[in-house]
Amino acid sequence: MSDRLLASEGTGFTPPGPSSFEPPPFFTVAGWAVDKVVVVIALSTVLIAAFFYLAARRAEAAGANGGLVPGKLQFAGESAYGFVRNGIGLETIGKEGLRFVPFLATLFFFIAVNNLFGIIPPFQLPGTSKIAIPLGLAVIVWVIYNYLGIKRQGLLGYFKNMMFPPGIPIPVYFLLAPIELLSNFIVRPVTLCLRLTLNMFAGHLVLVLFILGGEYLILEYGGIVGVLAGSVAILGSLVMTGFEAFIQLLQAYVFTLLAALYIGGALADEH
Amino acid sequence: MASFVSTAVAVLAVAEGEEPNPLVPHLSELIVGLVAFAILFLFLRAKVFPIFERVFAERTAAIEGGLAEAKREREEAHALLEQYREQLAEARTEAGRIRTEAQAERAAIVEEARNEARAEASRITEAATAQIASERQQVVAELRREVGGLAVDLAGRIVGESLEDEARQRRTVERFLDGLDSTPAGTAR
């Protein structure tokens, strides 16, 4: 990556930009370019599947009664699943949320691991920093909660409950109805998608800037000033990496929590 | 430093034109992401999460079962204790009742014995009294008979002898009485 960014050597520093999210393809299969993003997404999927499969296999292999006392791996898997199950699914949707826990848990771990690849060498590129990934997930969430709302409340009832919730003075509806409509169909999915994408995008950009800037200052700019400033930048990148890990987990949580809230709202709007 | 910043800005400005727009999704990535997510979702939903749910349910059941068992046993123990207490209380009442009864019985026995003794005593007394009375009557009858005889005897002697003086009379009487004394009552007849 660095050779690409430091294109014109000696002439100056090329700061990282959106192009640093377009890694060159490793190889091409039948016209499909397999680049780092694809590898990260595939690897996240495999890692999550493997982790949970091993954790669950331990529970199943131990027999009907043995799974009650979990081993370390099983405990880790159960805790991870239980976190989404109880902390997000049951907490925000209620008893009915149990139906959506598999979806929410997959959502959370898929996003979290893809995010975390932003700080895991040698990848250091969050799969979710490419807008296509959060967009796809946001569309799935959008389809699910609108489908549930219409199925539960009927097409008319869904729109009525959404745009004209009872117990509000009539003049307010002129303001509220379009806002709610806009919010439900456009703002929610767009913010869901952009919040995640841009957090990962900006986080990655900041990390790359710190690292490449530090490298440039030490190696190219040189001198006492360059080495000192560059060292500060490299140290800063370490701090930022820790901060990024936090942001990455937080964004996965926020995305999943909002998805659960939207689903819960569609199910509960029976006034 | 200032030159570095200005160069950076200049390069950024130049590069801006050729940079890809990060807000435009790539169709290939969209497909890869959706397919990966779908596979992961279907796999976890089929192979992993049901096992976790089953383990959760079994664990809850095991804990609740254990608690229920403990509760049942505790209740049983309570019931048993209560039963023992009742039995103990019953035994105490029974013992008290028996004691009271025994006391009553004892009093009755004593009373009976006393009455019997009293009756016996009075019977004996009566018998004795009757015997004494009959003996007395017998004696009186005998006395009367003897006194009559004696009186006749005495009167004959008095009439037979000449009563010259008082001293002789007295002597005669005394002799008579001496004769009375020396003659036993039983053989006097």
| Contact across the interface for B33 and A132, Cβ inside 8 Å | yes
Task: Provide ipTM, 2 decimals.
Answer: 0.88
Length of chain A: 271
Q: Looking at residue A246, what is its pLDDT?
A: 96
> Could you tell me what percent of chain A has a pLDDT over 90?
54
What are the chain A neighbours of B44 within 8 Å (beta carbons)?
48-49, 52, 102, 105-106
Burial of A142 (0-12, 13-18, 19+ CB in 10 A): buried
For chain A, the domain total comes to 1
DSSP state string for chain B? -HHHHHHHHHHHHHHHTTSPPTTSPPHHHHHHHHHHHHHHHHHIIIIIHHHHHHHHHHHHHHHHHHHHHHHHHHHHHHHHHHHHHHHHHHHHHHHHHHHHHHHHHHHHHHHHHHHHHHHHHHHHHHHHHHHHHHHHHHHHHHHHHHHHHHHHHHHHHHHHS---SHHHHHHHHHHHHHHHHHS-TTTT-
What do you get for the CA distance between the two ends of chain A, in Å? 56
In this predicted structure, which of A211-215, A245-249, B159-163, B176-180 has the lowest mean pLDDT? Answer: B159-163
What are the chain B neighbours of A189 within 8 Å (beta carbons)?
none
pLDDT in tens, B33-75: 999 999 999 999 999 999 999 888 888 888 898 999 999 999 9
From B20's Cα to the closest Cα of chain A, the distance in A is 6
Q: Looking at residue B3, what is its pLDDT?
A: 45
Give the chain B residue nearest A47 (alpha carbons): B40
Q: What are phi and psi of B186, to 5 degrees?
A: -70, -40
Mean pLDDT of B176-182: 79
Taking CB atoms within 8 Å and a gap of at least 24, the contacts of B61-64 are B62/A68
CB pairs under 8 A between A and B: 142
3-state secondary structure of A15: coil
Q: What does pLDDT average to over chain B?
A: 83
DSSP type of residue A32: E
| Contact across the interface for B19 and A136, Cβ inside 8 Å | no
Q: Looking at residue A7, what is its pLDDT?
A: 44
Domain that holds residue A252: 2-268
pLDDT in tens, A174-190: 999 999 999 999 999 99
What are the chain B neighbours of A136 within 8 Å (beta carbons)?
30, 33-34, 37
| Contact across the interface for B25 and A201, Cβ inside 8 Å | no
From A267's Cα to the closest Cα of chain B, the distance in A is 21
Mean pLDDT of A57-73: 72
3-state secondary structure of A186: helix
pLDDT in tens, A143-160: 999 999 999 988 998 988
